[in-house]
Structure 1
Amino acid sequence: MTFDWPDILRAPADVVLPRVAAGGASLVWTWFAVAWTYAVLAVPILLLPAALARRGDPALRVATYLGAASVLLALIGFLRWVFVAPALADSYMNGDEGTRAAVAAAWTAQHQYGGALLGEHLGQLLAIGWSVTVSIIILRSHLMPAWAGWLGLLASAVYLTNQGDILATAISGFPVWDVGGLLGSYLWALWLIALGVLLLRRANSNAH
């Protein structure tokens, strides 16, 4: 919110880099906190097979690897704003016209590779693959209420529409649903919270 995220992801270098420079150390620390807070998601992903008592489920095992990989890729995408963006912003703000043009090209290259490709495209697809698999397991195993499985599938489907916005950065004219990413991410987060609550209730029930 302090950096106009996620809309600023699609802004050009001459908009983004001055904003990064103006944000200073507080913005860098904000991104650092966002990155490592998101990285904590790897813990419940890795522990989910044990929590569901399905360590031997091959589908869930593969999905767990995919989910953990998605967190790693997202972490790389977030940490670009800590280790890459500030240095480019400094060079851009202190350089002449030729330097700014070179820095803008460097910004675009790393932004498309580390952000659009790794963090957004691959990171989100792997996360969606994990959530779809978990949702199907919920529906088939009846370990949790069926609505949890259906909510996971719905959140995954809506979140998948954000790929249009990502692909549009490489393919001109690719169809984009502007609210897909925001709505999908909120639904996905809501599903994660619901999943956590259900797991806690299941653990308490088993304890008694």
Structure 2
Amino acid sequence: MVSDRRTAAFSLIASGTLALVASVGLSVQFGWPDILDAPAAEVLPAFAEIAGTVQTLFLLQLAGSLVLIPGVIALHLLLARSRGTDAALLTVTAFGVLAPVIQSLGWIRWPLVVPGLAERYLDPSASAAATEATAATYELINAYAGGALGENLGWLLQGVWAVGLGILAWRAADVAPSWLRRTLAVVAVAWTVSLVPAGWLASDPLTAIGSSIYSVWYLVLLVLGVTLLRHRADEPASVPA
């Protein structure tokens, strides 16, 4: 149990730290996430100016997503010892593992695909038709890998995991103190509710709310990780056979 607790703690701390650093850096340096809605004529030249920085920051986002997977599994094991393994816990954990994978499909386009598109778009020898085709390719990839997968579906799935985790851990005093479990549940519900209309109804106010909430979510991950390291609860009651 101690090993699972530490695995979960370090995973959550690493994920929250990497994601927070990357998101702040991208916001300051690249105007993220607002730039995701900008046309290729604006995005690709802006990317080319600081390509190395943007690639590095999105790699941090990628790492922040993937490093959460061991924490999701470790939290599953902690909760299983407290309440037993059932369909609800398995379903929540499946959402938690799938979400970072989906997010990564969105993050990876920036270090791997966009550099080549930016180079072709800014190539002075390219024809107007080639430039337009490159712009159309970027916007298609951005809409699918970014808008549909990474920035919407991935975050929605993680929100569902967080809501499920908050519900299942509500009485699990051996996982985290009650104040943090309640905070987790409130933030997760607010975040998920804001993401659904923000992603599919293109509501600017709700998009802003969703962006703010998942910034808070990074902090919640950090606090949860630190609390798992520090919190000492009584041994959980044995689970009935």
- TM-score norm. by structure 1 comes to 0.85
Deviation at 1:142, TM superposition (A): 4.3
Shift of 1:151: 1.2
Distance in 2 of aligned mates of 1:191 and 1:126 = 17
Aligned partner of 1:179 in structure 2 is 208
One-letter identity of the residue aligned with 1:23 = I
Q: Is 68-77 or 178-187 further displaced after alignment?
A: 178-187
Structure 2 counterpart of 1:165: 198
Which position in structure 1 is the counterpart of 2:58?
A: 31
Report the aligned-residue RMSD.
2.2
Q: Which structure 1 segments of 5+ residues have no match?
A: none
**Which whole-Å CA distance do the structure 2 matches of 1:30 and 1:184 have between them?**
20
Deviations 1:151-195 (A, max 9, x none): 1222123322134332245xxxx4642431222112212222232
Shift, 1:119, TM fit: 0.7
Q: How does 1:34-73 map to 2 (within 5 A)?
A: 34-52=61-79, 53-54=81-82, 56-73=85-102
Question: For residues 142-153 of structure 1, what are the structure 2 equivalents within 5 Å?
Answer: 142-143=173-174, 144-153=176-185
The one-letter amino acid of 1:167's match is: W
Determine the structure 1 residue equivalent to 2:3: none
**In structure 2, what is the Cα distance between the partners aligned to 1:34 and 1:120?**
12
Is the 8 Å Cα contact of residues 162 and 184 (structure 1) preserved in structure 2?
no
1:30, distance to aligned residue in structure 2 (A):
3.1
> Which amino acid is the alignment partner of residue 89 of structure 1?
A
Partners of 2:39 and 2:71 in 1: CA distance? 36
- Quick one: distance in 2 between partners of 1:37 and 1:145? 25
Pick aligned residue for 1:195 from 209, 219, 224: 224
The secondary structure found in structure 1 opposite 2:30 is coil
Alignment gaps of 5+ in structure 2: 1-27, 236-241
Question: Which residue is 1:110 aligned to?
Answer: 141
The alignment covers a number of residue pairs equal to 202
State the Cα distance separating 1:204 from its structure 2 match.
7.7
Q: In structure 1, what is the equivalent of residue 113 of structure 2?
A: 84
Decide whether the 8 Å contact of 1:139 with 1:146 is kept in 2: yes
* Residues 28/198 of structure 1: CA separation in 2 closer, same or farther (3 Å cut): closer
Q: Which has the higher contact order (CA 8 A, sep 6+)?
A: 2
* 188-197 vs 104-113, greater mean Cα deviation: 188-197
CA change 1:70–1:24 in 2 (3 A) is same
Whether contact under 8 Å (1:70, 1:123) holds in the other structure is yes
Match of 1:100 among 131, 140, 149: 131
Identical-residue share of aligned pairs (%): 29
> Aligned equivalents of 1:203 and 1:68: distance in 2?
27
Deviations 1:57-105 (A, max 9, x none): 4322211111111000111111110111111111111133212211111
- TM-superposition CA deviations, 1:27-79 (whole Å, max 9, x none): 32332233123321111111112233246243222111111110001111111
Greater Cα offset, 197-206 or 106-115: 197-206
User: Distance between the aligned counterparts of 1:186 and 1:33, measured in 2?
Assistant: 15
CA contact (8 A) 2:162 2:185 kept: yes
* CA distance, structure 1, for counterparts of residue 34 and residue 110 of structure 2: 15
